[in-house]
Amino acid sequence: MQPITVLVTGANRGIGLELVRQIVARQSPPKHVFATCRNPDQAKDLQALAKETPSIDIVKLDVTDYATLRNTVVPHVQSKVGDLGLNLLVNNAGVLIPDELAKVTPEAMREVYEVNTIAPVMITQAFLPLLKAASARTTGGLSCSRAAVINITSKAGSCGDNTNGKYYSYRCSKAALNIATVSLSVDLKGDGILAAVLHPGWVKTQMGGSNAIHELSDSAKGMLDVMDRLTENETGKFFEWKGNEIPW
């Protein structure tokens, strides 16, 4: 995988930050890496990384602020990449509310669905012209080097894997993101754009908590390794960070 231009949402900490860190450290790093977050001034680790790595462009974005996305963020990215377009879009930003049936609320369901499901679709829609531009520059099969949308999901959104219940807002939002990604894979295949969902595992992050079983660096490396291998045969599929396919 050798994308020239990459954008990662939710890059201020956790999985997003580690993905950016490892992407720019690859043997053939991208020319442009756009790292978005809600509060860049508070993203100290990301700021430090960007100071050492000129290819990182920190962009302020609340993923549910669709007006700013279209009127400010997309034009900014377009002004930087020009005819290169956008090779790889990683929709990583997400939120988790650990709700049980007795405690789940309509407000929580709406909030989590907005961030985890609606926002990735709207971000993909907004960047579609740049994804198409990147794809058109390269012939051959689908890949993350040509043009791809990778949505960071969770095994919690798998109906076939759900044996523990609970987490209503999170599970529903990720299951919805999964089916949205399948639709993206169908709709975008003709434009040479790949779409897939990746499960990072239960990772030791602020969201994952201290009881998580996987190291952040291992998860990010694993997901990048999976992205390296994705082709037209894998578009529209659901993989974990170790490369195993997950049941819907």
10-residue mean pLDDT series, the chain (248 residues): 94 96 96 97 97 97 98 98 98 94 95 98 98 93 97 93 90 97 98 97 63 78 96 96 94
Q: What is the side-by-side strand order in the sheet with 56-60?
A: 56-60, 32-37, 5-8, 88-91, 148-152, 194-199, 238-240
Burial 228-247 (b: 16+ CB within 10 A, else e): eebeeebbbbbbbbeeeebe
pLDDT value of residue 183:
98
Structure tokens given for 133: 């531009």
Q: How far is Cα 17 from Cα 20, in angstroms, rounded to an integer? A: 5
pLDDT value of residue 147:
98
pLDDT value of residue 139:
82
pLDDT value of residue 12:
96
pLDDT value of residue 208:
57
Only one residue has tokens 């198409």, namely: 132
Please report, for the chain, the start and end positions of each structural domain, with discontinuous segments joined by +.
5-240
pLDDT value of residue 227:
97
pLDDT value of residue 203:
65
193: how many CB neighbours lie within 10 A of its CB?
Answer: 24
Distance of CA 141 to the CA centre of its chain: 21
pLDDT value of residue 74:
98
pLDDT value of residue 206:
58
Q: How far is Cα 141 from Cα 79, in angstroms, rounded to an integer? A: 27
CATH architecture of 5-240: 3-Layer(aba) Sandwich (3.40)
Structure tokens given for 26: 């690859």
pLDDT value of residue 209:
56
pLDDT value of residue 213:
62
163: how many CB neighbours lie within 10 A of its CB?
Answer: 5
Q: How far is Cα 76 from Cα 132, in angstroms, rounded to an integer? A: 17
pLDDT value of residue 207:
60
Work out whether the CA dihedral 86, 88, 34, 51 comes out positive or negative: negative
